[in-house]
Amino acid sequence: MKKVITADNTETFLNEEVKETYHSQTGAVEEALKKYAIPCKIKEKAETGTLRILDVCFGMGYNSAMAIDVALEANPCCQIEVVGLEYDPEIVKKIQEVNPPINFFQHYKQLTPTNLEFQKDNVKVKILLGDARETVKQLSPEYFDAIFFDPFSPKTSPEMWTPDFLKGMWRVIKTTGILATYSCARMIRENLVKADFLYDDGPIVGRRGPGTLATKWV
């Protein structure tokens, strides 16, 4: 896997099979903060004292590690639980080869394909290694405050953007929860509606289109 330096000077890798990078080339760490942590209201949710994040397509975990930084800055005592869904042990190994400017990422270095969970003070992190379409079934309903939904593109990984898989997201997110994804493709938004989500534009960060934010009907 070839390392790529993105426009905010942070590292990612190129996946040769799908010919996509693991993060936006306009800025890997910027994307974690501006497309996921901020729009999912991580700071506000951390202030309530508990925070549960589902990091779908965990990769090297930039999105949730950044959210932990934001949450701990808002409330150092917040009880935080992150569950990551990832099927490729090779990308989990790559955590050792990157050093994004995210404070909590130093603890993510404990994660390897044979050590898939750790606890650091009030923060628990666990990766469920396997096809997310299966592992999602192990999760409790109405559990997560935020879902970071970050598969490869709908073009290369259509199986990750189906109404069926999105219904799995619907099952595990709280009624107050927010799902964020980088894609604004019409088909994706239609599939979110088929899965009973409402959607809205997410922020525009380094791309022409906005991302998408989804919540449950209430």
Ligand X SMILES: C[S@@+](CC[C@H](N)C(=O)[O-])C[C@H]1O[C@@H](n2cnc3c(N)ncnc32)[C@H](O)[C@@H]1O
Q: Under the criterion CB under 6 A, does residue 211 sit at the interface with ligand X?
A: no
Residue from 87, 120, 126, 184 that binds ligand X (CB under 6 A)?
Answer: 87
Question: Of the listed pieces 56-64, 112-120, 186-194, 201-209, which binds ligand X according to CB under 6 A?
Answer: 56-64
Q: Out of 51, 70, 85, 213, point to the residue binding ligand X (CB under 6 A).
A: 85
Query: Which residue lies nearest ligand X, judged by its C-beta?
Result: 59
* Residue 88 binds ligand X, judged by CB under 6 A: yes
Among 62, 108, 149, 170, interactor with ligand X by CB under 6 A? 62
- Give residue for tokens 């953007």: 161
Exactly one of 73, 97, 131, 164 binds ligand X (CB under 6 A); which one? 131
Question: Tell me, what amino acid is at 48?
Answer: T
Kindly indicate which of the ranges 51-59, 73-81, 111-119, 201-209 contains the residues binding ligand X, using the contact rule CB under 6 A. 51-59
**Where on the chain is the footprint of ligand X (CB under 6 A)?**
22, 57-63, 85-88, 91, 131-133, 150-152, 157, 160
